[in-house]
Structure 1
């Protein structure tokens, strides 16, 4: 694809001279993902996939909900085992594929994946809640539109000791290329963080690795602007730690591989700035949120 139709046509002709190819025209469906033209760009939608998923799980006529995860109930592992664990794994696996175009489902699905080995009836209830949320948002997807900027900026957040079972923190990030969301993550950290600063610093290391890969890809394609990427974090301690290698002796126990973000800041590749918690877009990837807050952040993800 490209913005020079003559060049695209020439390339297709040269490929056709060496290989048997067929031009299918404008993209429509690809691996269950539908490309829907809009006034401002395109919408990547999995509406048919979601409808089929609701039918296969017996939730086609369920009542919709406004959020995929409740904020009032704590998940516990000690409960009656689900009588059909294969069904649980099949549905959650399908939900994983759905997060390709639905970043608002990332946290809820990541949490469900942590109980694949022995799902309980409570966990199955959480699956049904996600499906009820999907029922009310079938027309949602990932919007992509032309952007005048190609600068990379990313939001990083962490929910310190958020898991009541093992007290590990959950990291989340959102990476933007101009105005378009191109990468996101919700993931439980490997080790227990001893402070909120450490948890946020680990989340910054995760997004730094992702942005490094994105920059490498854009340079290979000849599309990188050359400007440093900006990382936004809502923890001042983690922000200072990225700039000052001797800040806080209490962080000496942090694993070495998390400290490479300092080198990126020192070399000028990254700028780490503070953002208030109210403007932290990655908050949606780290914890369950009330409906108003969840809706606000979901809309800012270009959905």
Structure 2
């Protein structure tokens, strides 16, 4: 089974905003470039003029719609939404780059194979101080059902934290909440799970989550994030360390080099779903 956005909708929107004339790129977000707010020169007074008559809000709204079936553009879209109130030419350039990437990957989508199991698996990651304007970190999460990607997220954290371990701890709590929701839904269908694995690339965050004692250095973190300790103690979830090279949620927290980006896209289960590829995949089922 495949999951892909409406190709006709996407093709029509590309034509409306003039993206049909854009040059293609291999990734939706520029690597090693940080977007910042500019309160002086460069602010676009009428951002609708730069998108061929379409307002920037409607363009980003279209991208948000596509993120429901295109996890490869989730982080890039979420970054651009932070600057939609007062965009500069640099911000508009990044929005256009997402469409340049999408124009070359119109047929990309998620492919769900049969008989891949119903085991829940979670991946959690955080980019410390990912937002250079507010100095807040970015949380990323991915939840799998067997080998099928079911849920994904990229979100700026709502609190400023003092270390990488603490930002990873907050991201772990968010991932745990989503995993528990999936567990509750599957319980209604007769599936019961315990010791659900969640993978994180921070040994310090795992140690904090497994420590039932509330340390004084963690008192500035909101209470709602500490519920993960209870579920670790009960055995509902189990935390595992994974090396950064195998951390699938890197794609939801930061801009990546093209090779690394394409590797993670394939690991998430995305592939080209043109008619020839669909026929080939159907033969393998």
- Normalised to the residue count of structure 2, the TM-score between the two structures is 0.88
Distance 2:132 2:56 in 1: 22
Note the C-alpha offset of 1:246: 2.7
Equivalent positions of 1:247-262 (< 5 A) are 248-262=215-229
187 and 111 in structure 1: CA distance in 2 versus 1, 3 angstrom threshold = same
Note the C-alpha offset of 1:247: 6.9
Q: Report if the CA contact (8 A) 2:199-2:242 is conserved.
A: yes
Pick the aligned partner of 2:2 from 31, 42, 45.
Answer: 42
**1:240 and 2:207 equivalent?**
yes
**What secondary structure, in the 3-state scheme, does the structure 2 residue paired with 1:221 have?**
coil
Map of 1:186 onto structure 2? 154
**What secondary structure, in the 3-state scheme, does the structure 1 residue paired with 2:204 have?**
helix
Distance 1:177 1:156 in 2: 15
Q: Report if the CA contact (8 A) 2:194-2:237 is conserved.
A: no
Map of 2:99 onto structure 1? 131
Greater RCO, 1 or 2 (C-alpha within 8 Å, sep 6+): 2
Note the C-alpha offset of 1:248: 4.9
Distance 2:247 2:25 in 1: 24
- Normalised to the residue count of structure 1, the TM-score between the two structures is 0.83
Equivalent positions of 1:1-303 (< 5 A) are 41-78=1-38, 79-86=41-48, 87-222=55-190, 224-246=191-213, 248-303=215-270
- In structure 1, stretches of 5+ residues that fail to align are 1-40
Q: Report which stretch shifted further, 242-251 or 286-295.
A: 242-251
Note the C-alpha offset of 1:220: 1.7
Note the C-alpha offset of 1:229: 1.4
Note the C-alpha offset of 1:261: 0.5
124 and 220 in structure 1: CA distance in 2 versus 1, 3 angstrom threshold = same
Q: Which portions of structure 1, spanning 4 or more consecutive aligned residues, are displaced by more than 6 angstroms?
A: none
